[in-house]
Structure 1
């Protein structure tokens, strides 16, 4: 287990959300699991830019935070499926609202992000 460099700060809801959802792929993982992509290989195909290792780490963290659970089937080769817990399902409307906001402001966000990237080069 790694040692935290920055101590936990859980003083408000935003701190708590950040602790649970911090990770580049976690929101997408939750969304895709909700849409029915349950197997690790399916999730990997939906998020090809993420390595299998990183996806596994983030799935494990989502499981530790009780947002997803997994079912392991006793067969050869082993089959694993992830699903949202009832607690995890409560995040879907929030993720949907964030996605809608991103869609509504897509042009502005692209301009700002791409403009910033141009300044860093």
Structure 2
């Protein structure tokens, strides 16, 4: 009996990307962070349709579970973030929209004041 093992990236990730656990110890902290940004998007995208987009519900779940902002963000704030990320106003967030600065800005605005840091 032969066992075949595929060590390539999942079909939903762009060609050339692999899960973080396959990266080497030589990876820089910025590369690790970028890999996390990509894999986190794909962890939530596609639960309600296309694997290449986030719905509002998927975005909310990502915020609550992976950004720990859920407790701090009201529904109206999630709606505002959705609008700011959704550049083409199609009620979905693709990776290009997700990787924009609005999500980072929201995180910084909520997180850094708690740590006494200014941007």
Q: Same fold (TM over 0.5)?
A: no
The structure showing larger relative contact order (alpha-carbon pairs under 8 Å, at least 6 residues apart) is 1
**Structure whose residues are more often helix by fraction:** 1
- Output the TM-score relative to the length of structure 2: 0.29
- Output the TM-score relative to the length of structure 1: 0.28
**Structure whose residues are more often strand by fraction:** 1
